[in-house]
Structure 1
Amino acid sequence: MPALEFPCTFFKSRKRMDDYNADDMRCGDLSEAELKSQYRLNYISDRVDPYTLTRRSSLDRPQSMFCCNLRGAGEKITRQQCAIILFGELRSLSRTFSLYGPYSHLIEKMIDHMQNEKGATFRDAALNRALKEQIIRDVSEEKSTRILLSKAFSTGIDWERKNFPVENKDRLRDAILSSKLPKFDRFQDNYNGMGITVHDTWATHITIKSLHIDNDRYRTVVHYKVQDHFGLNSDDILKTKFSQFHFFRIWFVLQRYNQFGFRPFMTNMEATVEITGERNEI
């Protein structure tokens, strides 16, 4: 029977890569009236009012985030000045979600990217390290992609011919379908910067780059390509867990308000891991 040839991309998630038509990739599509009536985004910032383009004082702050009884108009500013102030506030507020760790700096880099790079794809070596670490440290027997792939190789290899038969390819895909794809939704991700920068992911491709079989042991190299969208969709901001934070309210207005329209962007990550095992390992 024919053997599987490598490299072989055996898994692609249902959501596709580079999907610029996704709802969270929209920008500049909502008016002031829509933001206020549909999303209750009346009070956005403690520093400026993006609708009237005026600076705020402490007297402007409402008792409730859903109330907007301003006590007086402040200094007029330009739209560009307003955006700069809002991005500065966004950076300041982001520190609540990135308190410690080697990835805590990423959110400010990504905010800078949104402000200045007009939707260009974002890549960073720290994101790749975070992805690889997440894959390697996931030790769940039932949900780890690495562990489930290891089992699929142990049972799917033709040990006599020392290859992986094409007819067993579905075992690899089934292993991924029964797993939990790499994400950053663990408890620690709420504070280490990964939850706010990536959290869930949009699309994943997994490729077997090579397979070496020696006696009753094997070694395979697996490549993960993962993409996320650094953008907010309508459902996000309608959820209390997002809308209660000024951080997300400012982000949504900067992205979706037709007077700003800062572009969201694709976040690309990749990691290569080695998986080893032996015959009859299970």
Structure 2
Amino acid sequence: MTALQWPCTLFETQKRMDDYNAPDMQYGDLTQEQLKKDFLLTKVSERVDPFALKKITSFNRPQSMFFGSRNEADGETVSRSECARIMFDEFRSLSHTFAIYGPYRHLIGDMITHMQNANGAVFTNMSLDAALKDQILRDTTKNSTRLRIEKIIKKNIDWDKKIYPEDKRNELYKETSLGKLPKFDRLQDIFNGMSITVHDTWATQITLKALWIGDNRYHAVLHYKVQDHFGLDNLDISKSKFKQFHFFRIWFVLQRYNKFGFKPFMTNMEAIVDIVGDRNERKI
């Protein structure tokens, strides 16, 4: 009987890592006319008009009681770079609504600033890694990938030879693929900032980094690698639940308008998770 060799990839999503051709990774590809006609993005910001490059004040905002009461109703003209700066400041300010409390609430602001300054570079952060590990460990449902992997390891260990048989490898893949991959779609994620920073994910890889088997105990080390895209596609902005918020309008225009074209980026998260079990434990 051949022993399973590690590191061993247990599962990979069909969507691949580092897919810069994904719909939400496009940037600077839409004209003013397309944004207005196809996506109805005529009003984008409360502070500046990105198309006319003019500041918005109480005197040139149509719904304001002061509209048209001064000669400067047309608004102060700004440069394109200044317009983008104003919009990014508003973008960050509006993000507070989606990140009210908790240790991860600062992440959305950091990611917006990364979009503004990093020219599409990959984003990593220790707080993101911590959030991923916490999500994996707190998932105690029957669909937890961690618990499903634990069940199959315990079931198939050959205690006499102190190995996990290679011919049982497919059971690990099958069981993992039936589980729910780590996502930030819980109720608390709406308020702690993780729903807006990551929410769903693009690609996931789960690897068995090591497996030690003793007389009566085993210790498995799992490596979760998860990637998301900090970007919006056409479908995102077409949904009323997103379009109604200036937050998403500003994001979409900063990313997709051909006069701005700020690059979206990959968000990479990793977590090491230990599974320790006893031969005589009740099976899961």
Structure 2 length as normaliser, TM-score? 0.94
Task: Pick one of 263, 267, 283 that aligns with 1:281.
Answer: 283
Offset, 1:277: 2.2
Q: CA deviation at 1:278?
A: 3.2
C-alpha contact 2:201 2:226 (8 A) present in aligned 1: yes
Residue range with higher mean Cα deviation, 272-281 or 94-103: 272-281
Q: How many residues align?
A: 275
Residues 147-176 of structure 1 show CA distances to partners (whole Å, capped at 9, x for unaligned) of 111101111212221111111111111121
Partner of 2:228: 228
Match for 2:283: what amino acid?
E
Q: Does 1:216 align with 2:223?
A: no
State the 1:145 CA deviation. Answer: 1.0
Q: What letter is aligned with 2:237?
A: I
TM-score of the pair, normalised by structure 1: 0.95
Deviates more, 1:251-260 or 1:272-281: 272-281
CA deviation string 1:171-209 (max 9, x = no partner): 111121111100111111111011111111100111101
Partner secondary structure for residue 58 of structure 1 = coil
Distance in 2 of aligned mates of 1:50 and 1:117: 21
Matches within 5 A, 1:189-204: 189-204=189-204
In 1, the alpha carbon distance for the partners of 2:180 and 2:211 equals: 23
SS in 1 for 2:74: coil
Which residue pairs with 1:67 in the alignment? Answer: none
Runs (5+) with no aligned partner, structure 1: 64-69
Tell me, in whole angstroms, the C-alpha distance in 2 between the residues paired with 1:257 and 1:172: 45
Structure 1 residue 62, shift from structure 2 partner: 5.2
For structure 2, the 5+ residue unaligned runs are none
The equivalent residue for 1:186 is 186
Supply the distance in 1 between the matched residues of 2:58 and 2:162 (Cα, whole angstroms).
Answer: 72
Paired residues for 1:227-246 under 5 Å: 227-246=227-246
Q: For 2:154 and 2:6, how far apart are their aligned partners in 1? A: 17
Answering whether residue 138 of structure 2 is matched by residue 118 of structure 1, we say: no
Q: Cα 1:176–1:61, aligned 2, differ >3 Å: closer, same or farther?
A: farther
For residue 40 of structure 1, give the secondary structure of its aligned residue in structure 2. Answer: coil
Identity of aligned residues (%): 57
SS in 2 for 1:205: strand
Range moving further from structure 2, 231-240 or 150-159 = 150-159
Report the Cα offset of residue 61 of structure 1.
4.0
